[in-house]
Amino acid sequence: MALLEIKGLNKLFWADGKEMEVLREINLSIRENEFICFIGPSGCGKTTLLRIIAGLEEPTSGTVSLAGDLITGPGPERGMVFQEYSLFPWRTVLDNIAFGLELKGVPADERRTQSRQYLKMVGLERFEARYPHELSGGMKQRVAIARALVNDPKALLMDEPFGALDAQTRNLMQSELLRIWEEEKKTVVFVTHSVDEAIFLADRIVIMSARPGRVKDVIEIPLPRPRNRTSSEVNKIRDRILCDLRSEIVTS
């Protein structure tokens, strides 16, 4: 069953008095509880598309709907995790997670109880009184994920959330994210530049063309989890994706 529907989506920007086409005729259905990754050359519009799904930007034409409802702006049914650590430095870990519940008017005791549940889920229950500057990069992103999930969104939108992490921490966070996804069963829309990350995480990988971004290919990943990053099956999928990406870089 489709949760997110993208139909005929186009996006134009104006830069230096000139029209710049960023996205062209995007059509895609994203299933309920699906983990889908977008990958493509730099500047192909991946983040712009994610921001349109989040309601942070408007398409020039076309529509995006969630569970049949047209997306016209931000909403709690979509949680967003950014690449940069978008935590409030003056709030503790617990208060950062509880922020969305506070905006909803959830009573203090209830929002602390709910926030602690998600803090435990991401393995940071001992750090609830700490401040962001006292956390590592991986820990900050765990807090950001918990903050997005505590509002019980239908879809979790992630814009290269592990891009700034070292390789070892990044691999750990990928496994942690899959564990959380299997517990929560949310639809995840994940933007990445890493082919290996996309193959390790996704049910499907959407390959986008060079600007203007179009859906060039959609690859199903039928491999069971946890996936062996160096298996022959993974290597075949990696070669196919890299071939698609190389052709875009050559022609862009």
Owning domain of residue 55:
1-77+187-252
The reply to whether 246 falls in a domain is yes
Q: What is the pTM of this model?
A: 0.94
Q: Is residue 167 part of a domain?
A: no
Q: What would the DSSP string read from start to end of 85-148? A: ----TTS-HHHHHTHHHHHHT--HHHHHHHHHHHHHHTT-GGGTT--GGGS-HHHHHHHHHHHH
Percent of the chain with pLDDT over 90: 86
Is residue 101 in a domain? no
Number of structural domains found in the chain: 1
* Residue 241 belongs to some domain of the structure: yes
Domain-embedded: residue 217: yes
pLDDT per position as a tens digit, 184-239? 989 999 999 999 999 999 999 999 999 999 999 999 999 999 999 999 999 999 99
Residue 165: inside a domain: no
Whether 150 is covered by a domain: the verdict is no
Task: Please indicate, yes or no, if residue 196 is contained in any of the structural domains.
Answer: yes
CATH of the domain at 20: 3.40.50.300
Q: What pLDDT, in 10s, does the model give residues 38-60? A: 999 988 999 999 999 999 999 99
pLDDT in tens, 116-128: 999 999 999 999 9
